[in-house]
Chain A
Amino acid sequence: MIDVLQLVQSLRYALRDMQGVKISDFELIECINQAASLLYVTMAEKYVRYALKTYTMDVGDANKGVLPDDFLKVHQVLTDEDTVAVPTSYLPTTDGTYRIKGNMFYANNDVYSIEYYYVPKRVKSLSDKLDVQTAMSPYIEQVALAFYGNNLDKAKKVVDICVTSLSDIEVSHFENVGPTQVLGGRV
């Protein structure tokens, strides 16, 4: 969670308007919302795990449940025995299968752990908190700055750079896997 006030303060510093004479809070909050949406949608497209959340769903006797508001797309679904549930193209009738349609989750009478890519909820005021990890703050700031002035192309470029950078962090622990790789093969 990041305080919106903190983000707005950083943006005001970057835009040289700490007193708030030229730019209103509404403008900056709008930029933060747009930045968070674009960044997290792109992160989901590129399977960046910083955009993952877990939701425990008890489908109960109805064999269905409503997905959370910030659901974007599913990463994987685990059963209560920690086995991977399989998506089906029909309404599931056996344990360990599921189907997602719109904002509904259908599965067979069980508790499921849904790992999904989320998009942070819209923030409305300075006292709100943006539902992202604290480490995301420099990325959100950079994208929000690009959005200030309504420059979508620039924002997309900044998002690409951010997502690449975030993916690097993620795969960095695979770096020491063995001898040097040349053209995809090991020497």
Chain B
Amino acid sequence: MTQKEMLALVRKLISDEQATGFTEGGTLEEPEGTQELLNYLDRAVDDYSKRQAANADTRLVRSMTISSSNMYLPDGFLMFCGLIPAQVEGNFLFYYGDMVNPTVKYFERLPYVSSYPETAPLPYEQDQYMTIAALAAIYALNKYEFNVSQDLMLLGYGGQQNANGS
């Protein structure tokens, strides 16, 4: 699925196929219309990735080799799998373990929808497309103050979990 198809899917979910609610265009400076939907998609990617990482989804696991005691973390780094003898400050890593050049596993955020060209296929799996589009649609509907609690519930995002703000 491409970015364009993803946007079409979200429009379908919010009954805006004609692009009358969220019109074509929009820029990062003026995030309205399509750009606004893209922002919702990115936000959905972010939220989905964090939740899946917290649930130890192996599809988000990547590995890296710590080759130096000071190094930058990879883009999209969320958290390590388990505890690592290292300090993380922002996107910088200070390693102090006694294992030399260890390979460690970490959870990585899925790439943002907006970071791909309009017609390039996005590197997601089917269920990820669906969940991300559904989340983005919920954000869009929420803007117009529709009641989205049932939609969140269906994605497993509702109830107590939501009440805790987690």
Contacts and interface: CB of A to CB of B under 8 A. Distances in A.
Contacts of A27: 82-83
A21 B102 contact: no
B58 A22 contact: no
A7 B61 CA distance: 23
Interface in B56-98: 56, 58, 61, 80-85, 97-98
Contacts of B85: 26
A178 interface: no
B100 interface: yes
A49 interface: no
Secondary structure of the B side of the interface? loop
A21 B83 contact: no
Secondary structure of the A side of the interface? loop
Contact of A125 (B82, B83, B100, B105): B100
Contacts of B56: 21-22
A131 interface: no
Contacts of B80: 24
Contacts of B105: 20-21, 24
A25 interface: yes
Interface residues of A, number: 13
B102 A25 contact: yes
A23 interface: yes
B119 to A, nearest CB: 35
A19 interface: yes
Given A20-B105, A24-B80, A27-B82, A124 B58 contact: no
Interface in A3-58: 19-27, 29
A15 to B, nearest CB: 11
Contact of A24 (B58, B100, B104): B104
Contact of A26 (B58, B61, B84, B100): B84
A124 B98 contact: yes
A19 B83 CA distance: 15
Contacts of A20: 81-82, 105
Nearest to A24: B82
B99 interface: yes
A125 B58 contact: no
Contacts of B84: 24, 26
B100 A21 contact: no
Contacts of A23: 81-82
A24 B81 contact: yes
Contacts of A24: 80-84, 104-105
Contacts of B82: 20, 22-27
Interface string B23-61: 000000000000000000000000000000000101001
A29 B104 CA distance: 14
Nearest to B86: A26
Given A21-B56, A24-B104, A125 B99 contact: yes
Nearest 8 Cβ contacts at the A-B interface? A24-B82, A23-B82, A125-B99, A21-B56, A124-B98, A21-B81, A27-B83, A124-B99
13 contacts: A19-B58, A21-B58, A21-B61, A21-B81, A22-B81, A23-B81, A23-B82, A24-B80, A24-B84, A26-B102, A125-B99, A125-B100, A125-B102
Interface of B: 56, 58, 61, 80-85, 97-100, 102, 104-105
